[in-house]
């Protein structure tokens, strides 16, 4: 998806809800109804639940076991909502459901509300779904509900493309996508081959058609085909199982082939680093039933980069669908969904203030207009300065982009909330010095940070999330992580500055008041390795506001703006600005096995890389850890547990920690 979609619009055409026929929606794209006009949810139960034996399969799930459903055609999401409800009724409390659904023509938010209003029994779940879904943008959108028990991955775009990039396997398929005679482009033999490649032996399916060409294609792809009765007695559907596995699927180039799954059953993990990357990873592993020890060298969690008072959900996008831009959109949607899920009346982890990105010169303005033409409006829109001033509550002199769903986060509160799971044990003031693999176990050698008393910890797996310090560990020394110093400035609010309603970014940023202070960010220093807060950088932060946001600075006191605090830290960056997320290879063995890369990048290698089994990294989040950290944790946990990934295979490769080693070997640099 990364390369083929480059330059294409991310915007998808909405399906149009034409009319309501006997109360049920009829959509114009294929002149097909989303559901039978008479039966509604009973038809879903009959066709997809009963014929896939889901009642029995859900209730037989073990503790924390995951069941994965794949669907062709999300439509109004009724199948998903009904399945979620049925899973709640049938599955053990700790079992989990991952519902993956492909959709090319989503319903507009207004039509969606109208359609879902016809199903009052699903009201509570529909509200959760529609309030979390952000935009009809090409790519994956991964959403979690019910404390991670229910996950939805939407594959937005043509399913012949999106499904082929799915990284993982499905237990049951719901094949619906309007009548084959009306939608021949979808019901292609290629689709069923792809589906077979994403199935396990005996994965079941139901197709809402008995069309002969569909039956033949399913049989050719290795599925058994059986006619089954339909809810509407005049029609038939087909069902079956994958009877023969196709040849091994190749999702990744050989040097990115993932490690074999660990056979360990004790599910113990050590996560090193108590910032957003470490706590997100610990949290999502804990939700999967892992016992996690979270080690942090400082007195408390989130005291390094993740310790700023306000972190902006700042999505810097590109009109071309580069891997970085794709990951930012997906991370943005995921972080917002997570923040909504974790917040309740007593927990304020963020404010959904919206974010303005001002066009501070003509080139940026041009780029922003391009972005507004390719991304959907509920993600971002372009406005003149009058409209932005109205949104901000304080005059803004520039035109720019507005991201209505974004806002600012309280990073330390978020990290502590993520780490407050009963399966997580936090050991702060613990500095890790080295790692050792002994038989099937990793041993972590550490010292107490304040008195250097030696400590040892062991577990099945280790995830290193120490930002740039990750490369101080011998096994990760090949990671090209680099520190870029930055400082934020906290200023006292005034009655006038309190009028700021949204986060405003230009060169530098300011967030609405929190605890009687605003955060001004942030400086960049590529040379200094000091964490000392310095006056000169406070002045730089003030000058950036003066230059780009003068009305706000005036409201905050102008020349008398009162500085009441500040914090300096490091952004940990990689050469391509994507984080490093994944399993760690055995460096020396890898350089030996892939030595031919130096001579011939087209050489055919037969062996996948040797890994340091059970060692992983989540680092390099640069200046956008609030957007990339949580989704990276989720990607890593899915990889560790052998689950279907929330992101496409191409993005998994784009973040592979070995990519720089491969690049350098291919260019004969090492």
Ligand X SMILES: Cc1cc2nc3c(=O)[nH]c(=O)nc-3n(C[C@H](O)[C@H](O)[C@H](O)COP(=O)(O)OP(=O)(O)OC[C@H]3O[C@@H](n4cnc5c(N)ncnc54)[C@H](O)[C@@H]3O)c2cc1C
Burial of 480 (0-12, 13-18, 19+ CB in 10 A): middle
Residue with Cβ nearer ligand X (314 or 382): 314
Residue with Cβ nearer ligand X (69 or 338): 338
Give the CB-nearest residue to ligand SAM. Answer: 73
Residue from 79, 297, 353, 656 binding ligand X (CB under 6 A): 297
Binding residues for ligand X restricted to 447-476, rule: CB under 6 A: 465-467, 469
Partner that binds at residue 183, options ligand SAM, ligand X, none, CB closer than 5 to 8 Å by kind: ligand SAM
Q: How far is the CB of 377 from ligand SAM (least distance, A)?
A: 20
Number of H helices, E strands in the chain: 19, 31
Residue with Cβ nearer ligand X (209 or 574): 574
C-alpha atoms less than 13 angstroms from C-alpha of 477 in its C-beta half-sphere: 8
Checking 564-567 for CB contacts under 8 A at 24+ apart, the result is 564/490, 564/491, 564/492, 564/517, 565/309, 565/489, 565/490, 565/517, 566/487, 566/488, 566/489, 566/490, 566/533, 566/537, 566/538, 567/307, 567/308, 567/309, 567/487, 567/488, 567/490, 567/533
**Of 127-135, 254-262, 343-351, 484-492: span binding ligand X (CB under 6 A):** 484-492
The set of residues, in sequence order, having a beta carbon less than 8 Å from that of 480 and lying 6+ positions away, is 471, 574, 575, 660
Residue from 83, 143, 150, 186 binding ligand SAM (CB under 6 A): 186
Binding residues for ligand SAM restricted to 267-286, rule: CB under 6 A: none
Q: How far is the CB of 188 from ligand SAM (least distance, A)?
A: 9
Contact 393, 353 (CB under 8 A): no
Contact 409, 339 (CB under 8 A): yes
Residue with Cβ nearer ligand SAM (174 or 290): 174
Residue from 149, 383, 624, 659 binding ligand X (CB under 6 A): 624
Residue from 70, 354, 486, 633 binding ligand X (CB under 6 A): 486
Binding residues for ligand X restricted to 371-430, rule: CB under 6 A: none
**Of 183-191, 215-223, 241-249, 587-595: span binding ligand SAM (CB under 6 A):** 183-191
Q: Name the pairing type of β-strands 150-156 and 96-103.
A: parallel
DSSP line for 89-121: HHS-TT-EEEEEEEESSPBPHHHHHHHHTT-GG
Residue from 85, 183, 423, 443 binding ligand SAM (CB under 6 A): 183
Binding residues for ligand X restricted to 426-445, rule: CB under 6 A: 431-432
Partner that binds at residue 306, options ligand X, ligand SAM, none, CB closer than 5 to 8 Å by kind: ligand X
DSSP line for 123-159: HHHHHHHHHH----BSEEEEEEEGGGTEEEEEEES-H
Partner that binds at residue 553, options ligand X, ligand SAM, none, CB closer than 5 to 8 Å by kind: none
φ, ψ dihedrals at 502, nearest 5°: -135, 165
Partner that binds at residue 178, options ligand SAM, ligand X, none, CB closer than 5 to 8 Å by kind: ligand SAM
Question: Would you tell me how many other CB atoms lie within 10 Å of the CB of residue 8?
Answer: 13
Distance of CA 447 to the CA centre of its chain: 34
Binding residues for ligand X restricted to 263-282, rule: CB under 6 A: 272-278
Across 269-304, b (16+ Cβ under 10 Å) vs e yields bbbbbbbbbbbbbbbbbbbbebbbbbbbbbeebbbb
Residue from 61, 138, 312, 617 binding ligand X (CB under 6 A): 312
**Of 102-110, 272-280, 453-461, 617-625: span binding ligand SAM (CB under 6 A):** 102-110
Binding residues for ligand SAM restricted to 2-41, rule: CB under 6 A: 15, 29, 32, 34
Binding residues for ligand X restricted to 543-602, rule: CB under 6 A: 569-572
Residue from 84, 314, 334, 350 binding ligand X (CB under 6 A): 314
Residue from 304, 356, 585, 612 binding ligand X (CB under 6 A): 304
CA distance 546 to 542: 6
CA distance 36 to 29: 16
Question: Would you tell me how many other CB atoms lie within 10 Å of the CB of residue 120?
Answer: 9
Q: How many residues does the chain have?
A: 670
Residue from 77, 180, 307, 579 binding ligand SAM (CB under 6 A): 77
Q: Would you tell me which residues interact with ligand SAM (CB under 6 A)?
A: 15, 29, 32, 34, 71, 73-79, 102-105, 158-159, 176-178, 183, 185-186
Q: Would you tell me which residues interact with ligand X (CB under 6 A)?
A: 272-278, 295-298, 303-306, 308, 311-312, 314, 431-432, 465-467, 469, 486-488, 521-522, 569-572, 619, 621-627, 629
């Amino acid at each position: 998806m990364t390369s083929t979609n480059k330059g294409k619009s991310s915007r998808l055409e909405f399906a149009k809800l034409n009319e309501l026929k006997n109360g049920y929606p009829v959509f114009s794209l294929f002149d097909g109804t989303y559901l039978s006009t008479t039966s509604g949810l009973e038809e879903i139960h009959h066709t997809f639940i009963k014929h896939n034996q889901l009642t029995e399969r859900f209730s037989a799930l073990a503790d924390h076991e995951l069941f994965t459903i794949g669907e062709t055609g999300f439509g109004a999401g009724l199948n998903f909502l009904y399945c979620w409800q049925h899973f709640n009724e049938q599955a053990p409390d700790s079992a989990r459901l991952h519902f993956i659904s492909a959709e090319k023509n989503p319903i507009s938010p207004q039509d969606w509300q109208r359609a879902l209003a016809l199903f009052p029994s699903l009201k509570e779940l529909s509200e959760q779904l529609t309030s979390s879904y952000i935009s009809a943008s090409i790519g994956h959108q991964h959403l979690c509900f019910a404390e991670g028990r229910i996950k939805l991955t939407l594959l937005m775009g043509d399913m012949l493309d999106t499904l082929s990039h799915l990284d993982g396997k499905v237990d049951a398929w719901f094949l619906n996508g309007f009548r084959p005679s009306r939608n021949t482009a979808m019901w292609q033999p290629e689709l069923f081959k792809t589906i077979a490649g994403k199935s396990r032996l005996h994965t079941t399916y139901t197709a809402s058609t008995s069309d002969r060409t569909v039956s033949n294609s399913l049989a050719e792809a290795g599925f058994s085909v059986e006619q089954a009765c339909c809810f509407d007695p005049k029609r038939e559907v087909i069902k079956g199982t994958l009877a023969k596995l196709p040849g091994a699927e190749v999702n990744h180039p050989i040097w990115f082939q993932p490690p074999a799954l660990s056979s360990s059953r004790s599910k113990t993990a050590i996560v090193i680093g108590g910032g957003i990357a470490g706590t997100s990873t610990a949290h999502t592993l804990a939700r999967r039933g892992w016992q996690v020890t979270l080690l942090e060298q400082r007195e408390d969690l989130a005291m390094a980069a993740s310790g700023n008072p306000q972190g902006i959900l700042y999505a810097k996008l590109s009109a071309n669908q580069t891997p970085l831009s794709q990951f930012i959109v997906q991370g943005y949607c995921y972080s917002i969904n997570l923040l909504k899920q974790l917040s309740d009346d007593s927990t304020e982890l963020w404010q959904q203030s919206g974010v303005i990105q001002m066009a501070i010169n003509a080139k940026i303005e041009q780029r922003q207009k391009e972005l507004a033409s390719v991304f959907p409006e509920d993600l971002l829109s372009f406005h003149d300065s009058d409209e932005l001033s109205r949104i901000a509550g304080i005059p803004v002199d520039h035109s720019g982009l507005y991201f209505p769903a974004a806002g600012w986060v309280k990073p330390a509160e978020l990290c502590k909330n993520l780490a407050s799971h009963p399966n997580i044990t936090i050991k702060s003031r613990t500095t890790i010095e080295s790692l050792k693999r002994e038989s099937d176990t990793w041993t972590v050698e550490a010292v107490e940070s304040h008195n250097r008393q030696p400590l040892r910890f062991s577990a099945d797996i280790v995830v290193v999330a120490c930002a740039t310090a990750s490369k101080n560990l011998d096994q990760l020394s090949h990671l090209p992580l680099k520190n870029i110093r930055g400082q934020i400035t906290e200023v006292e609010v005034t009655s006038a500055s309190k009028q700021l309603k949204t986060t405003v970014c230009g060169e530098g940023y300011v967030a609405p008041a929190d605890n009687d202070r605003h955060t001004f960010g942030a400086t960049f220093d590529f040379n200094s390795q000091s964490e000392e807060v310095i006056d000169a950088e406070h002045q730089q932060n003030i000058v950036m506001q003066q230059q780009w946001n003068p009305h706000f600075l005036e409201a905050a006191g102008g020349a008398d703006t009162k500085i009441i605090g500040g914090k300096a830290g490091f952004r940990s960056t990689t050469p391509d600005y994507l984080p490093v997320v994944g399993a760690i290879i055995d460096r020396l063995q890898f350089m030996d096995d892939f030595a031919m890369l130096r001579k011939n990048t087209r050489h055919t290698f037969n062996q996948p890389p040797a890994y340091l089994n059970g060692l992983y990294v989540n680092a390099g989040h640069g200046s956008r850890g609030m957007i990339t950290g949580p989704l990276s944790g989720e990607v890593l946990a899915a990889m560790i547990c052998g689950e279907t990934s929330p992101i496409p295979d191409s993005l998994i490769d784009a973040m592979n920690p070995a990519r720089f080693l491969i690049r350098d070997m291919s260019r004969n640099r090492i």
